[in-house]
């Protein structure tokens, strides 16, 4: 259990909490970007142990949650076609589109399958040359390299019945959009350690300088998160913005150059719509034109989609740190994991799902 048990040490966590209480002198709002961190905070009750001056808000770091409704509706349209085997990770099968989810298509006879890797989808394409196999490729910089490798391998082998419906998004542009908004209240960030393991932390330095905020990459265990909060508070209290890496066992300044290279080979940066937020410039990874035959959106001509988002759903405000899940009027009543209005209640990294799972209604 190396690199796990020691980061759950109660005594070390208590010492860090004591240091946080001693360091804080005024109110601060800190956003944890990653949904995995949100779930860890809720599971261990870390937010309830912090001094009242510190408010944690939850960011748009859940890849399932920010996948735009248009992409889900395109997935539904493609998955309903008789020649298609449609594949994705488990969470995506339950994300509500305008009218139904992918399980609804499956219940009506669509060939929709859960896979554990994009390479599983590629293998299905090899085994079924008379069918079109589509993989719903979503996620941040963490999943993009693996999806890029699968697409590059398909191109190398000439497996042209494999394609991706790609909806990759990038973290720094979303942070810039949050900080630029007139409604922003975030003063510091806990950055997602796994994203930084791929990308490094250099790209956060202009953000820290432009907006005068601290950005602290950290991990996902209680000691990781408390250590990241302590460093963020220390930077805020000292008035010294900047990037301070606290995930030393996994993150290097330059990230993973090989992973970054394959992403660049397969995808290009472009504008991307985020569910509940809107279009963020240069925040997405799009399949390059030379690989267009592996782009499901172009292959199946599903660009003309008019989605319909439930007006009562507050997931967009939750993803921007403006609201907390238990402030939504339908949270835990009409909107539950078995009958979700928005993706934040579906995903294993969604903030609403975390509040629901750990019975945090009315406690924020």
Please state, as a whole number, how many other Cβ atoms lie within 10 Å of the Cβ of residue 311. Answer: 7
Q: 286 - beta bridge partners? A: 268
Beta strands in the chain (DSSP E): 28-34, 54-61, 84-88, 111-114, 132-139, 162-169, 188-192, 214-218, 242-243, 267-274, 278-287
- 177 in helix, strand or coil? helix
Question: What CATH class does 1-359 carry?
Answer: alpha beta
Per-residue pLDDT tens listing for the chain (364 residues): 456 677 888 899 999 999 999 999 999 999 999 989 999 999 999 999 999 999 999 988 888 888 988 999 999 999 999 999 999 998 889 888 888 899 999 999 999 999 999 999 999 999 999 999 999 999 999 999 999 999 999 999 999 999 999 999 999 999 999 999 999 999 999 999 999 999 999 999 999 999 999 999 999 999 999 999 999 999 999 999 999 999 999 999 999 999 999 999 999 999 999 988 889 999 999 999 999 999 999 999 886 666 666 778 888 888 888 888 989 889 888 889 888 887 888 877 889 988 898 876 654 4
Query: Alpha-carbon distance 170 to 142, whole Å?
Result: 10
- Whether the CB-CB separation of 194 and 201 falls below 8 Å is answered with no
Q: Which of 272, 274, 271 is nearest to 319 (CA)?
A: 274
- Would you kindly state where each structural domain of the chain is located, as residue ranges? 1-359
Q: Which of 121, 122, 81 is nearest to 105 (CA)?
A: 81
Q: Which of 19, 17, 11, 21 is nearest to 52 (CA)?
A: 21
């Amino acid at each position: 259990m190396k690199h796990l048990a020691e980061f759950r040490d109660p005594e070390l966590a208590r010492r860090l909490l004591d240091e946080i209480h001693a360091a804080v002198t005024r109110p601060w709002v800190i956003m944890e970007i990653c949904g995995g961190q949100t779930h860890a905070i809720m599971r261990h009750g870390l937010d309830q142990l912090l001094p009242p001056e510190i408010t944690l808000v939850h960011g748009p770091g859940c890849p399932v949650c920010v996948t735009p409704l248009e992409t889900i509706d395109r997935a539904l349209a493609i998955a309903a076609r008789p020649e298609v085997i449609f594949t994705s990770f488990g969470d995506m099968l339950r994300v509500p589109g305008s009218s139904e989810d992918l399980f609804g298509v499956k219940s009506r006879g669509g060939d929709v399958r859960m896979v554990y890797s994009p390479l599983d989808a590629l293998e299905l394409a090899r085994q079924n040359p008379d069918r079109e196999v589509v993989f719903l490729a979503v996620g941040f910089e963490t999943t993009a390299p693996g999806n890029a490798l699968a697409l590059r391998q398909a191109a190398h082998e000439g497996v042209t019945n494999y394609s991706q419906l790609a909806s990759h998004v990038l973290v720094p542009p979303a942070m810039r959009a949050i900080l630029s908004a007139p409604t922003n209240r975030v003063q510091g960030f806990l950055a997602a350690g796994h994203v930084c393991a791929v990308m490094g932390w250099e790209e956060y330095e202009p953000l820290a300088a432009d907006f005068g905020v601290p950005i602290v990459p950290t991990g996902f265990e209680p000691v990781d998160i408390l250590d990241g909060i302590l460093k963020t508070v220390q930077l805020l209290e000292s008035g010294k913005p900047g990037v301070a890496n606290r995930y030393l066992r996994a993150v290097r300044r330059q990230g993973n150059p090989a992973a970054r290279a394959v992403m660049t080979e397969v995808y290009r940066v472009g504008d991307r719509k985020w569910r509940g937020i809107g279009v963020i410039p240069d925040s997405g990874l799009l399949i390059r034109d030379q690989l267009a035959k592996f782009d499901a959106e172009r292959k199946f001509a599903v660009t003309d989609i008019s989605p319909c988002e439930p007006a009562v759903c507050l997931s967009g405000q939750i993803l921007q740190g403006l609201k907390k899940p238990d402030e939504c009027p339908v949270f835990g009543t009409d909107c539950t994991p078995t009958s979700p209005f928005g993706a934040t209640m579906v995903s294993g990294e969604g903030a609403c799902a975390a509040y629901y799972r750990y019975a945090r209604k009315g406690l924020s």
